């Protein structure tokens, strides 16, 4: 077989590899730019006052984001309280009853729920909580975020428990331990790292969400601990301030972005150590 | 002595620090079937992969020494050129599942971007499939994907594919170990016909197969070339004690 | 122990733990069921509240390009176009990058520091909240686009379909990349070896053997990235320009289905306005649902074959 265009093919081979490497590293550029800008613009705002003071009205210097931080925390807790137990319970059912019809449809529902746009979830929480309650509230925001956390926790639980070898369950059952205790005292603890990962990932995800809060938690210029009133959150504050015409507010938004990004990235790193430290080897 | 088409000179091969092929000097005669025989793990697969420069694709692999294909050092040539002149048939049949049978045969041209006109490619497909004794069985199914073929038929398809690029040497790496006895004898008969047009090097640990098909046998043990000679002489009166022990089944 | 434990641990009715066992089984069953109920309830809520708008406009909702709260005429066409334009343009832009990453990690550098680094970076990209992307795009991308528009002589909006597509494409890179990477690294080595033994270069093996083999997985990755792009709200809302008119080109401002809801829902008072917005939400819900189901179905088929 005549080997024509040999030089061309060899150059194409080298060129292709170079392009693949180039484009791969170009993809990192936006991440670096974003982190750079946020830290550069936001770091100046960060101070102790920034964390403990309330935002000042337009025109006044200083102020902080304490209400947004507290609000974000409240929302995540309200979201997690129902969704973590429910998600884990559903995950247990799905991993233990693989052949059941309910498992099939529930798994499908989980996938669909996970892919549902967050703004749609916001509307649902509006219809289900805000309207009956007659107003915006932290509770509504928490429900919206909880619905978003649910599928991620179910999946993490199901996948983690499915990886645990059946011999562990058999050993426990063979000792005369009832099934429900086997799951709760043997299987679940063995899967703790995977489930924790799911909880952390979903927390990081909903902590940064804005859209579902636009018409549920709504935002609040003041500190609020009352769950039936509107509450602020970091992403909401960033949205309001970034889209405002006031440079002073932009500065606060950069600072808040800095806090949010650091929080999310820290959670990501914590997640990695959790996986490594707590992972049970089989 | 027949002319040697492939010659190795102090060939050594390593995986990281582990030396798998130790100073092999071998002359492969042209248009004959040379069997490289030995127990599992003796380095025979690695040896032939040094011929078509596939060994170096493994991370951590290293080669020293020389391999000459018709007086040219294979390690001074472009690897992709070497592989079109020294072809390979693998232990498990590996036709391309996304291609039709026809395209599988001329895959060597398609993948390398060589455009053939319709009549030329038809000729190559027919000739290669006939050389691989597969033409009659698949000539009406050339446009189907080869997944319905049996293991033996798939392996003959791979042989046709390797033959289509008209190599000088064809390496067979334990080609029948995944096949049933009927398919095995089919392919052994095939090799006897093929050696008239292409030099065949067959790797096997099966002494009976070596006895059936070979003209020359090289016995490899723990990476060393223990003995090399014509089949008749090596199998009946081996010169080395290790060869004799292998042949009498003292180790496998 | 006086407990007889059967296959699923169903105990004899004489044991005191029987109630706990039954409660446990019931709880996990109801939890799994609850998810189905939740999804159905979401669909029904959206549907019921869309009824006024469905009754008022019917099918013309999808073809009318007028969205005017003042005269109470609502048509979704401008936002359909806005969503489709931004999503497909974003996909187009992100494809070379996602493919490059997946080939980099799936083929060239399967192990090692370089590949872990890129994997980590890709995961971090996916973890950044969309409001941060939007904020950054608003202050960095928009001025750049504005300068560019001034240079080539068109109205320097800065915001618009193109800007929204650009930031959207960055956001969906990790989604397409991670699935493509999985399937590419799962291509069996004996098929690749066969191609190498015929004298192919690495590039030829990748483009003519690996990628075709991994084709369905790559499609699934694209579909899931598309699903993400369609539903993305905040980053798009901040830079798409908030215009309810049908966008004329890539530099026009516009609105996507998600961004018009974000912009108008809190101020909408007329019930028809609200109902129309909810109908848009219903549409978003159904479209993303179909895309996700198809994408997940393809992935399931591939994992079974593997």
B100 and chain A in contact, CB less than 8 A: no
pLDDT in tens, A38-61: 999 888 888 888 888 888 887 777
Q: Chain-centre distance of CA A77, in angstroms?
A: 13
Residues 6+ apart with CB under 8 A from A188: A88, A92, A161, A195
Q: Which of C193, C201, C215 sits opposite B94 (nearest CB)?
A: C193
Closest chain C residue to the Cα of A234, Cα to Cα: C131
Q: Residues B126, B129, B135, B138: is their CA dihedral positive or negative?
A: negative
pLDDT in tens, A189-225: 888 888 988 999 899 999 999 999 999 988 888 888 8
pLDDT number for residue A122: 95
Angle at alpha carbon of residue C16, lines to C10 and C17, rounded to 5°: 45
Q: Which residues pair with B200 in a beta bridge?
A: B33, B170
pLDDT number for residue B186: 92
Q: Give A38 to chain C, closest Cα distance, Å.
A: 8
Q: Say what percent of chain A tops pLDDT 90.
A: 55
Q: Which residues pair with B6 in a beta bridge?
A: B28, B69
B57 and chain A in contact, CB less than 8 A: no
pLDDT number for residue C59: 85
Please name the residue ranges forming H helices in B72-226.
Answer: 79-85, 101-105, 107-111, 118-131, 135-138, 151-164, 181-194, 207-213
pLDDT number for residue A279: 67
Contacts of A210 in chain C (CB under 8 A): 129-131, 233-234
Contacts of C208 in chain B (CB under 8 A): 110-111
Q: Which of residues 3-22 of A touch B (CB under 8 A)?
A: 3-6, 9-10
Mark yes or no for CB contact A4/B114 under 8 Å: yes
Structure tokens at C133: 């992307």
pLDDT number for residue B174: 93
**Chain A neighbors (3+ CB pairs < 8 Å):** B, C
| Mean pLDDT, range B59-82, rounded to an integer | 91
Mark yes or no for CB contact C128/A31 under 8 Å: yes
Mark yes or no for CB contact B96/C195 under 8 Å: yes
Closest chain A residue to the Cα of C12, Cα to Cα: A178
Spans of all domains in chain C: 2-56, 62-305
Contacts of A11 in chain B (CB under 8 A): none
Contacts of C204 in chain B (CB under 8 A): 111-113
Q: Which of residues 198-227 of A touch B (CB under 8 A)?
A: none
Structure tokens at C239: 């830079």
Q: Which of residues 43-102 of A touch C (CB under 8 A)?
A: 86-87, 89-90, 92-94, 96, 102
**Chain B neighbors (3+ CB pairs < 8 Å):** A, C
Mark yes or no for CB contact A109/C39 under 8 Å: yes
| Mean pLDDT, range B240-250, rounded to an integer | 88
Tens-level pLDDT at each residue, chain C (306 residues): 334 444 444 545 556 577 888 999 999 999 999 999 999 999 999 999 999 998 888 888 888 888 888 888 888 999 999 999 999 999 999 999 999 999 999 999 888 888 888 888 888 888 899 999 999 999 999 999 999 989 888 888 889 999 999 999 999 999 899 889 888 988 999 999 999 999 999 999 999 999 999 998 899 999 989 999 999 999 999 999 888 889 888 888 999 999 999 999 988 888 889 999 999 999 999 999 999 999 889 888 887 765
Contact in structure between C184 and C103 (CB atoms under 8 Å)? yes
Mark yes or no for CB contact B108/C194 under 8 Å: no
CA distances from A242 to A51, A213, C129, C147, C166 (A): 18, 16, 15, 21, 19
Closest chain C residue to the Cα of A180, Cα to Cα: C21
Closest chain B residue to the Cα of A6, Cα to Cα: B81
C-interface mutation test, from B87, B111, B159, B178, most C Cβ less than 10 A away: B111
Q: Which of residues 36-65 of B touch C (CB under 8 A)?
A: 52, 54, 57
Mark yes or no for CB contact C193/B54 under 8 Å: yes
Q: Give A11 to chain C, closest Cα distance, Å.
A: 10
Q: Give C86 to chain A, closest Cα distance, Å.
A: 16
Q: Which of C197, C213, C215 sits opposite B87 (nearest CB)?
A: C197
Q: Which fold has domain A64-277?
A: MetI-like fold (1.10.3720)
Mark yes or no for CB contact C29/A93 under 8 Å: yes
A210 and chain C in contact, CB less than 8 A: yes
Contacts of A151 in chain C (CB under 8 A): 35
| Mean pLDDT, range B67-86, rounded to an integer | 92
Residues 6+ apart with CB under 8 A from B166: A1
Contacts of C38 in chain A (CB under 8 A): 109, 113, 147, 150
pLDDT in tens, B147-168: 889 999 999 999 999 999 999 9
DSSP codes of every residue in C237-290: HHHSB---SPP-STTS-B--HHHHHHHHTTT--SHHHHHHHHHHHHHHHHHHHH
The pTM of this model reads 0.84
**Angle, in degrees to the nearest 10, between helices C77-103 and C161-185:** 40
C68 and chain B in contact, CB less than 8 A: no
pLDDT in tens, A82-113: 999 999 999 999 999 988 899 999 999 999 99
A-interface mutation test, from C15, C87, C102, C131, most A Cβ less than 10 A away: C131
Rounded-to-integer distance, Cα C270 and Cα C274, Å: 6
Rounded-to-integer distance, Cα C246 and Cα C256, Å: 11
| A99-115: b (≥16 Cβ within 10 Å) or e | eeeebebbbbbbbbbbb
Contacts of A34 in chain C (CB under 8 A): 128, 132-133, 136
| CATH code, residues C62-305 | 1.10.3720.10
Q: Say what percent of chain A tops pLDDT 70.
A: 97
Nearest partner of B127 among B161, B168, B153, B169, judged by Cα: B161
Q: Give B24 to chain C, closest Cα distance, Å.
A: 23
Q: Which of residues 80-99 of B touch A (CB under 8 A)?
A: 80-81, 84
Mark yes or no for CB contact B80/A5 under 8 Å: no
Contact in structure between A249 and A241 (CB atoms under 8 Å)? yes
The pLDDT confidence band at residue B115, using thresholds 50, 70 and 90, is confident
DSSP codes of every residue in B130-161: HHTT-HHHHTT-TTSBGGGS-HHHHHHHHHHH
Residue A60: phi and psi, rounded to 5, are -90, 140
Q: Give B158 to chain A, closest Cα distance, Å.
A: 17
Number of cross-chain residue pairs from A and C with Cβ atoms under 8 Å apart: 260
Contacts of B114 in chain A (CB under 8 A): 1, 4
B92 and chain C in contact, CB less than 8 A: yes
pLDDT number for residue A170: 83
Mark yes or no for CB contact C191/B97 under 8 Å: yes
Mark yes or no for CB contact A102/C36 under 8 Å: yes
Nearest partner of C142 among C241, C260, C245, judged by Cα: C241
Mark yes or no for CB contact A117/C34 under 8 Å: no
Contacts of B81 in chain A (CB under 8 A): 3, 6
Mark yes or no for CB contact A111/C293 under 8 Å: yes
Q: Which of residues 62-101 of A touch B (CB under 8 A)?
A: none
pLDDT number for residue A3: 58
Mark yes or no for CB contact B83/C191 under 8 Å: no
Closest chain C residue to the Cα of A83, Cα to Cα: C31
Nearest partner of C193 among B93, B164, B203, judged by Cα: B93
B74 and chain C in contact, CB less than 8 A: no
| A26-45: b (≥16 Cβ within 10 Å) or e | ebbebbeebbebbbebbeeb
CA distances from A77 to A45, A81, A201, A202, C176 (A): 27, 6, 14, 12, 32
Mark yes or no for CB contact A9/B165 under 8 Å: no
């Amino acid at each position: 077989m005549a080997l024509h265009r040999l030089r061309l093919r060899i150059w194409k081979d080298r060129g292709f590899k170079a392009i693949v490497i180039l484009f791969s590293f170009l993809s990192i550029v936006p991440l670096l730019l974003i982190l750079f800008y946020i830290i550069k613009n936001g770091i100046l705002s960060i101070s102790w006052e920034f964390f403990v003071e309330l935002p000042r009205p337009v025109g006044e210097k200083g102020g902080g984001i304490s209400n947004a931080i507290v609000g974000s925390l409240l929302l995540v807790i309200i979201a997690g309280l129902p969704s973590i137990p429910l998600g884990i319970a559903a995950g247990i059912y799905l991993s233990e009853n693989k052949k059941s019809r309910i498992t099939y449809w529930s798994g499908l529902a989980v996938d669909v729920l996970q892919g549902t746009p967050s703004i749609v979830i916001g509307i649902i929480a509006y219809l289900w909580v805000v309207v009956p309650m007659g107003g915006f509230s932290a509770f509504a925001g928490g429900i919206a975020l909880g619905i978003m956390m649910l599928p991620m926790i179910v999946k993490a639980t199901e996948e983690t428990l499915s990886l645990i070898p059946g011999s562990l369950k058999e050993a426990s059952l063979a000792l005369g331990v009832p099934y429900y205790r086997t799951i709760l005292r043997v299987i679940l603890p063995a899967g703790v790292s995977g489930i924790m990962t799911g909880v952390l990932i979903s927390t990081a995800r909903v902590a940064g969400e804005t859209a579902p809060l636009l018409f549920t938690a709504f935002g609040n210029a003041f500190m609020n601990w009352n769950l039936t009133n509107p509450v602020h959150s970091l992403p909401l504050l960033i949205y309001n301030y970034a889209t405002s015409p006031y440079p002073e507010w932009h500065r606060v938004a950069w600072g808040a972005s800095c806090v949010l990004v650091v929080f999310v990235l820290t959670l990501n790193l914590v997640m990695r150590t959790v996986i490594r430290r707590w992972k049970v080897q089989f | 002595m027949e002319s040697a088409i492939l010659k190795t000179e102090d060939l050594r091969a390593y995986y990281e620090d582990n030396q798998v092929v130790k100073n092999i000097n071998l002359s492969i005669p042209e248009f004959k079937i040379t069997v490289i025989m030995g127990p599992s793990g003796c380095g025979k697969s690695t040896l032939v992969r040094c011929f078509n420069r596939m060994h170096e694709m493994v991370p951590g692999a290293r080669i020293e020494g020389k391999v000459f294909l018709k007086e040219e050092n294979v390690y001074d040539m472009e690897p992709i050129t070497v592989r079109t002149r020294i072809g390979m048939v693998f232990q498990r049949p590996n036709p391309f599942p996304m291609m039709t049978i026809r395209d599988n045969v001329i895959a060597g041209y398609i993948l390398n971007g060589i455009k053939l006109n319709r009549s030329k490619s038809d000729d190559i497909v027919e000739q290669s499939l006939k050389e691989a004794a597969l033409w009659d069985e698949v000539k009406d199914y050339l446009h189907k994907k080869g997944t319905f073929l049996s293991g033996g038929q798939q392996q003959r398809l791979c042989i046709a594919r390797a033959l289509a690029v008209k190599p000088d040497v064809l390496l067979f790496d334990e080609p029948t170990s995944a096949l049933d006895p009927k398919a095995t004898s089919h392919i052994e008969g095939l090799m006897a016909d093929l050696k008239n047009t292409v030099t065949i090097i067959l790797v096997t640990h099966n002494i009976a197969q070596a006895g059936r098909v070979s003209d020359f046998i090289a016995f490899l043990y723990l990476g060393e070339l223990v003995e090399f000679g014509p089949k008749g002489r090596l199998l009946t009166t081996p010169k080395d004690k290790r060869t004799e022990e292998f042949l009498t089944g003292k180790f496998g | 122990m006086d407990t007889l434990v059967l296959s699923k641990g169903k105990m004899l009715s004489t044991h005191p733990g029987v109630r706990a066992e039954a409660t446990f089984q019931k709880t996990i069953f109801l939890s799994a069921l609850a998810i189905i109920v939740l999804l159905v309830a979401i669909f029904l809520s959206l549907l019921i509240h869309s009824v006024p708008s469905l009754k008022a406009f019917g099918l013309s909702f999808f073809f009318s390009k007028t969205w005017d709260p003042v005269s109470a005429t609502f048509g979704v066409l401008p936002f359909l176009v806005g969503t489709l334009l931004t999503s497909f343009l974003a996909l187009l832009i992100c494809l070379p990058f996602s493919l490059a990453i997946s080939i980099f990690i799936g083929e060239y550098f399967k192990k090692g520091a370089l590949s872990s680094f890129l994997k980590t970076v890709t995961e971090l990209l996916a973890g950044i909240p969309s409001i941060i992307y939007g904020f950054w795009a608003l202050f960095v991308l928009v001025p750049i686009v504005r300068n560019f528009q001034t240079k080539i002589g068109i109205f320097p909006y800065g915001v618009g379909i193109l800007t929204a597509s650009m930031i959207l494409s960055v956001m969906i890179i990790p989604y397409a990349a991670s699935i493509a990477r999985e399937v590419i690294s799962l291509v069996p080595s004996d098929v690749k070896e066969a191609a190498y033994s015929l004298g192919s270069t690495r590039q030829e093996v990748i483009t003519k053997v690996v990628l075709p083999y991994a084709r369905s997985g790559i499609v699934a990755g694209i579909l899931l990235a598309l699903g993400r792009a369609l539903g993305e709200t905040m980053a798009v809302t901040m830079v798409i320009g908030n215009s309810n008119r049908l966008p004329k080109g890539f530099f026009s401002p516009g609105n996507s289905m998600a961004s018009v809801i974000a912009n108008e829902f809190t101020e909408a008072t007329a019930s028809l306005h609200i109902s129309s917005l909810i109908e848009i939400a219903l549409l978003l819900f159904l479209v993303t649902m179909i895309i996700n189901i198809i994408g997940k179905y393809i992935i399931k088929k591939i994992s079974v074959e593997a």
